[in-house]
Amino acid sequence: MIRFEQVGKVYPDGTTAVDGLSFEVAEGELVTLVGPSGCGKTTTMMMVNRLIEPTSGRILVDGEDIAGIDPVKLRRRIGYVIQQVGLFPHRTVLDNTATVPALIGWKRARARERAAELLDLVGLDPGTYGSRYPAQLSGGQRQRVGVARALAADPPVLLMDEPFGAVDPVVRERLQNEFLALQQRADRGLKRLSVTAIEPEDLEEPPVAGLEEPAREAAARLGAAGARWAVVLNAGGELHGWVSADALRPAGEGETVGDLARRMDAWVPVGAPLKQAFSEMLQHDAGWVAVLDGARFLGVLTPAKLHEALRRSVDADARGVGREEVEFDSVADA
């Protein structure tokens, strides 16, 4: 998941903070950096999300060199908790927790629902604390909000820089124990992503446009349906790409959908693990992933549907029943 290859950091004044550091952190693994003040622990972590740039070596996250990833997009994939917490003082606890989901495009209702879920997970009743502001919380409570905010968008990587150092020993021990319990639950979720296959029942059916369809006709049809984009298929129902409604509207006489379609980069085969779909979403910064049976298009898997499939898989495993027997309110329908 994370690999350091001979990473070094030398500051302009000649201070060497990190020198030839190499190590690897496996998926689901919890690793602690231990050392005296000033030994480079914080610098090492801040290089993972590019708040500090290394002067030598490479850092890879999920096999990808982070030097080639846009820093803003990279940080939205990485949870980060610092000792000072860093909550926004003018925003409520609920809105603080929903910050990253909102930034990556989640609808407000869904982001706040996820925030409430995480606050409850760290022992803060969202009904009691959600409308409060950071100044109205104790130090330990603010630390919990910081952890919840870092977890809100289900990041594959979570960095924590002495997150419990500013609280008293009794609260610190309780927070550490709660985090270990959280880590064990997140680890089970990651493993479940790897073994849960994508099924046709997990998919949504988006608007579809034909490859040879006149662009103006497709634009009118999408406009009437209030759709912003459509999947483009050939006559045999095979995936060609996708097209936006904005691209279709100014189309000239004789132009077809195929003339304006764009390549579909984010796709997976039916039966692939949910983890593969999640990886495609992150790699291509996509809001959905096309699912194919060979070349035939079946539908799209959205983040909400992926979350629903994972919840159904976890519940089915816990109850010893098939996924089709599990029923609950869908996040996608909220």
User: How far is Cα 77 from Cα 155, in angstroms, rounded to an integer?
Assistant: 5
Q: What is the pTM of this model?
A: 0.49
Q: Which residues contact 329 (CB under 8 A, 6 or more apart)?
A: none
Segment 308-313 mean pLDDT: 82
The top-level CATH class assigned to 2-195 is alpha beta
The DSSP line for 189-249 is HHHHHHHPBP-GGG-B---EEETTSBHHHHHHHHHHHT-SEEEEE-TTSBEEEEEEHHHHT
Range scoring the smallest mean pLDDT among 121-130, 174-183, 254-263: 174-183
The 3-state DSSP class for residue 57 equals strand
Please indicate whether residue 14 or residue 154 has the higher confidence score (pLDDT): 14
Tell me the CATH architecture of domain 200-325: Roll (3.10)
Range scoring the smallest mean pLDDT among 93-102, 149-158, 216-225, 291-300: 149-158
Tokens representing 158 are: 């979570």
Q: Where are the domains of the chain?
A: 2-195, 200-325
Residue range 103-139, pLDDT digits in tens: 877 888 888 888 888 888 777 889 999 999 999 988 7
Segment 97-107 mean pLDDT: 84
User: How far is Cα 121 from Cα 147, in angstroms, rounded to an integer?
Assistant: 10
Please indicate whether residue 285 or residue 91 has the higher confidence score (pLDDT): 91
Do the domains 2-195 and 200-325 sit in the same CATH topology, yes or no? no
